[in-house]
Amino acid sequence: MAELKLSESRDLTRIERIGAHSHIRGLGLDSSLEPRDVSEGMVGQTQARKAAGVILQMIKDGKIAGRAILLAGQPGTGKTAIAMGMAKSLGLETPFSMLSGSEIFSLEMSKTEALMQAFRKSIGVRIKEEAEVIEGEVVEIQIDRPAVSGAASKTGKLTLKTTDMETVYDLGAKMIEALGKEKVQSGDVIAIDKASGKITKLGRSFSRSRDYDAMGPQTKFVQCPDGELQKRKEVVHCVTLHEIDVINSRTQGFLALFTGDTGEIRAEVREQIDTKVAEWREEGKAEIVPGVLFIDEVHMLDIECFSFLNRALENEMAPILVVATNRGITAIRGTNYKSPHGIPIDLLDRLLIVTTQPYSVDEIHKILDIRCQEEDVEMSEDAKQLLTKIGHETSLRYAIHLITAAALNCQKRKGKVVEVQDITRVYSLFLDVRRSTQYLMEYQKEYMFNEASMVDGGEDDADAMHD
Let me know whether 317 and 430 are in one domain: no
Measured CA angle at 174 (ends 170, 176), to 5 deg: 60
Let me know whether 300 and 270 are in one domain: no
Let me know whether 135 and 238 are in one domain: yes
Query: Of 253, 285, 317, at which residue does a domain stop?
Result: 285
Q: What is the rounded CA–CA span in Å between residue 393 and residue 402?
A: 14
Let me know whether 145 and 268 are in one domain: yes
Number of domains in the chain: 3
Let me know whether 304 and 405 are in one domain: no
CB 341 within 8 A of CB 70: yes
Q: Work out the widest C-alpha separation in the chain, in whole angstroms.
A: 112
Q: Across residues 23-41, what is the average pLDDT? A: 82
Let me know whether 209 and 192 are in one domain: yes
Let me know whether 340 and 423 are in one domain: no
What are the pLDDT digits (tens) for 197-256?
Answer: 888 888 888 877 776 656 667 777 888 888 888 888 777 788 888 888 888 877 665 666
Q: What is the rounded CA–CA span in Å between residue 435 and residue 26?
A: 35
CATH number at residue 404: 1.10.8.60
The backbone region for 28, taken as left when phi is positive above 0, alpha when psi lies in -120 to 50, beta otherwise, is left
pLDDT, position 331? 92
Let me know whether 57 and 154 are in one domain: no
Q: Say what percent of the chain tops pLDDT 90.
A: 14
Let me know whether 404 and 374 are in one domain: yes
The candidate with the shortest Cα–Cα distance to 117, out of 238, 249, 237, is 249
pLDDT, position 11? 44
- Which one has a higher pLDDT value, 288 or 215? 288
CATH number at residue 321: 3.40.50.300
Beta-bridged to residue 199, according to DSSP, are 192
Structural domain includes residue 77: yes
CATH number at residue 199: 2.40.50.360
- pLDDT range class, residue 423, cuts 50, 70, 90: very high
Let me know whether 261 and 213 are in one domain: yes
- Which one has a higher pLDDT value, 209 or 70? 70
Structural domain includes residue 419: yes
Structural domain includes residue 7: no
CB 165 within 8 A of CB 171: no
Structural domain includes residue 83: yes
Let me know whether 160 and 206 are in one domain: yes
Structural domain includes residue 166: yes
pTM for this predicted structure:
0.71
Structural domain includes residue 39: yes
Other C-beta atoms within 10 Å of 68: how many? 22
Q: Across residues 154-183, what is the average pLDDT? A: 85
Query: Of 358, 385, 412, at which residue does a domain stop?
Result: 358
Let me know whether 151 and 204 are in one domain: yes
Structural domain includes residue 8: no
What are the pLDDT digits (tens) for 328-361?
Answer: 899 998 889 999 999 999 889 888 899 999 889 9
CB 379 within 8 A of CB 372: yes
The candidate with the shortest Cα–Cα distance to 83, out of 18, 33, 20, is 20
- pLDDT range class, residue 40, cuts 50, 70, 90: confident
pLDDT, position 255? 65
What are the pLDDT digits (tens) for 101-123?
Answer: 888 888 778 888 889 888 988 88
- pLDDT range class, residue 3, cuts 50, 70, 90: very low
Q: Which domain holds residue 308?
A: 17-94+291-358
- Which one has a higher pLDDT value, 464 or 451? 451
Other C-beta atoms within 10 Å of 458: how many? 10
Query: Of 258, 285, 312, at which residue does a domain stop?
Result: 285
**CB-neighbour burial class of residue 258 (10 A; exposed 0-12, middle 13-18, buried 19+):** exposed
Structural domain includes residue 210: yes
- pLDDT range class, residue 303, cuts 50, 70, 90: very high
